[in-house]
Amino acid sequence: MKIINTGLPQFMEALEAQSITVVHVDWKPPTEEDEEIGKLLESLL
Amino acid sequence: MVILSKVFRNTYRDSYLLMKMATAIRGREGVGNAEVMQATEPNKGLLSGGGLLTDEIRDATPNDLFICVVAEDPEKARQAFEQAKEMLEKGIALPEKTQVSKSFNSALAMLPEANLALISIPGPYVKKEALKALGKGLHLFIFSNNVEIRDEIEIKEWAIPRGLLVMGPDCGTGSIQGTALGFANKVRRGPVGLVGASGTGLQEVSVLLHQMGLGISHAIGTGSNDVSDAVGGMTMIQAIQMLEADPATEVIVVVSKPPGAMTKAKVLGHLQQCRKPVVANFLGESQEPTRGGNILFTVTLEETACRAAERLKGKWGHDLPTDIREPQSLEEEAKKLQGPQQFLRGLFSGGTLATEAGLILQGLGLPLSGNISLPGVQKLKDIRTSDGHVVVDLGADEFTMGKPHPMLEPEMRKERLLAEARDPEVAVILLDFVLGYGVHPDPVGASLPFIQEARRVARQEGRHLSFVASVCGTDEDPQNKAGQVKKLQETGVFVFSSNAQATRAAARLALRA
């Protein structure tokens, strides 16, 4: 298994302890600006 | 009392770190309460309920974080606040070798062969991340709760026709190809395939199979809402079909909270089409073991594991050990209890383990109160105060709002345990200790100080207090199961191989039968 872990770091640590290849996403909630840019991009594509 | 609070704009920290911070601050001398949370509406509601909602916090957004401290005097409040700020700034240091990215897309660029996304972010944001990962062909394990049902349905309706598995939302436990996901044990590989809407249900059946020398192919968690009629068991049905088609699976085991009526009929229909033998446990719905064609229905988790082992046709490993400590010593223990001590108090961290205990105790004729959803179990007038024989799931929402789950922080059981120790009518405390990846590194070690304190409290009032426990784990789990059992036994706790055995032993002590 090869896993992308988004959210709580302890799950990433648990996977690494099992020698599973994992990339951790240091997720943050989108800001209002991010949301507006996202909507703008969607309208263009 | 002094209240000190502040909002930190555009500051996000994961829920686990925030809870650790709040717990650390609450433990300080002179601190009455502390909350450290993202300013979501439910969290603001929590503060409002405690009379702590300031205008600054009311105006904050979920992208903002607040610290709120209630202390005896201004200096204690200030020091507590400063500690919280320091922890906030430090965050949790990730190990150096960890590959970290800022987004799913850049993570996928770093690991293009990724085949599963594990998601544990706040519920309102899950759908977007889930659909992104599914769009790139990844299966999902969604730990997050508070995901709208319509989001869950949309995610599953997208995934299932494309052959992608969605475990969750609100899925705590899974094991795929021997990899533990979420809170899960390291279990020997073998021919039993499990699917369940029940975290500690999957864990207990898996570890019992391991104890019997057997093993599992996979344990597929469906998430707690999957078997509602709204979601219709989409993941459960998909998982049953996968296990039926999987050459490594010879017996299919279903462990589930009671499904919605329509969903149950659909699930049973799919199970009846399986050529492989099936063992199904719907936790409280079947009171008698019965057969339904190829399906054998069971009542307890222990029975589920034993029947699954039997159905392997000659690949039986060995019997489940009946108990770890000599049964005769239970009778010696019973003699130490006084006449008025008649009640059993089950304080559980695993929800399904609490339900199994409730089923067994009801079967033995004990009238029960608590917060488990079984017919005949009375609700307590005050959830925090026991009365009579009681089984409580201390990991349930009503106990864990803004606080860590007891499987992550065993200290969460301390207050209740000490309250039970002060009750002169209590004979025996029944506990579960859940091991595995993702949970506390030393559940027993963290609990022993307050188990010993509880014994002292009872002894000072001239009473002996009995303790009975089970340890849900394997010898391959990171916590060293044998060491955990030994520590309990050295403190005079009776330890049994299964939650079912521990429950029966605790009942014997309470009833002195």
Is residue B176 a contact partner of residue B164, using CB atoms and an 8 Å limit? no
Residues of B in contact with A5 (CB under 8 A): 117-118, 120
The torsion angles phi and psi of B167, rounded to 5 degrees, stand at -90, 115
CA distance B99 to chain A (A): 5
Helices (H) and strands (E) in chain B, counts: 18, 21
Cα–Cα distance, B219 to B179 (Å, whole number): 10
**What order do you get walking across the sheet with B139-142 strand by strand?**
B99-101, A21-25, A2-7, B116-120, B139-142, B166-167
Supply the pLDDT for residue B259.
93
Cα–Cα distance, B381 to B383 (Å, whole number): 6
Helices (H) and strands (E) in chain A, counts: 2, 2
Supply the pLDDT for residue B112.
96
User: Of B194, B190, B163, nearest to B181 (Cα)?
Assistant: B194
What contacts B366, CB < 8 A, 6 or more positions away?
Answer: B344, B389, B507, B510, B511
Residues of A in contact with B102 (CB under 8 A): 25-26
| First vs last C-alpha separation in chain A | 34
Question: Beta partners for B344?
Answer: B428
Supply the pLDDT for residue B287.
45
Residues of B in contact with A35 (CB under 8 A): none
CA distance A33 to chain B (A): 12
Is residue B267 a contact partner of residue B259, using CB atoms and an 8 Å limit? yes
- Closest in A5, A18, A31 to B63, CB measured: A31
Supply the pLDDT for residue B315.
53
The number of angstroms, rounded, from the C-alpha of B353 to the middle of its chain's C-alpha atoms is: 9
What contacts B285, CB < 8 A, 6 or more positions away?
Answer: B258, B264
Residues of A in contact with B14 (CB under 8 A): 7-9
Supply the pLDDT for residue B318.
56
Residue range B59-63: average pLDDT?
Answer: 89
User: For chain A, which ranges sit under pLDDT 70?
Assistant: 45
Residue range B121-127: average pLDDT?
Answer: 93
**Banded model confidence at residue B325, pLDDT cuts 50, 70, 90:** low
Residue range B216-225: average pLDDT?
Answer: 97
Tens of pLDDT, residue by residue over B414-469, are 999 999 999 999 999 999 999 999 999 999 999 999 999 999 999 999 999 999 99
Contact assignment for B107 to A8 by CB distance below 8 Å: no
CA distance B182 to chain A (A): 6
What is the number of alpha carbons within 13 Å of residue B132 lying toward its C-beta? 16
CA distance A35 to chain B (A): 12
Residues of B in contact with A22 (CB under 8 A): 99, 111
What is this structure's pTM?
A: 0.90
Best of B98, B102, B187 to mutate (most A CBs within 10 Å, chain A) = B98
Tens of pLDDT, residue by residue over B7-42, are 999 888 888 888 888 888 988 999 999 999 999 888
On the 0-12 / 13-18 / 19+ scale of CB atoms within 10 A, B55 is: exposed
Neighbours of B454 (CB within 10 A): 21
Is residue B439 a contact partner of residue A8, using CB atoms and an 8 Å limit? no
Q: Average model confidence (pLDDT) for chain B?
A: 91
For residue B192, give the amino acid letter.
V
Give the percent of chain B with pLDDT over 90.
Answer: 74
3-state SS, residue B343: strand
On the 0-12 / 13-18 / 19+ scale of CB atoms within 10 A, B509 is: buried
Tens of pLDDT, residue by residue over B284-322, are 775 455 666 789 899 899 999 999 998 886 555 456 665
- Closest in A8, A15, A21 to B120, CB measured: A8
Supply the pLDDT for residue B97.
72
Supply the pLDDT for residue B191.
96
Phi-psi region of B220 (alpha: psi -120 to 50; beta: other; left: phi over 0): beta
The number of angstroms, rounded, from the C-alpha of B192 to the middle of its chain's C-alpha atoms is: 22
3-state SS, residue B28: coil
Is residue B185 a contact partner of residue B475, using CB atoms and an 8 Å limit? no
Quote ipTM for the complex.
0.88
The torsion angles phi and psi of B417, rounded to 5 degrees, stand at -60, -45
- The DSSP-derived string for B243-296 is HHH-TT-SEEEEEESPPPHHHHHHHHHHHHT-SS-EEEE-SSS-SS--EETTEE
For residue B194, give the amino acid letter.
L
The torsion angles phi and psi of B120, rounded to 5 degrees, stand at -140, 60
- Contact of A19 with chain B, judged by CB distance below 8 Å, is answered with no
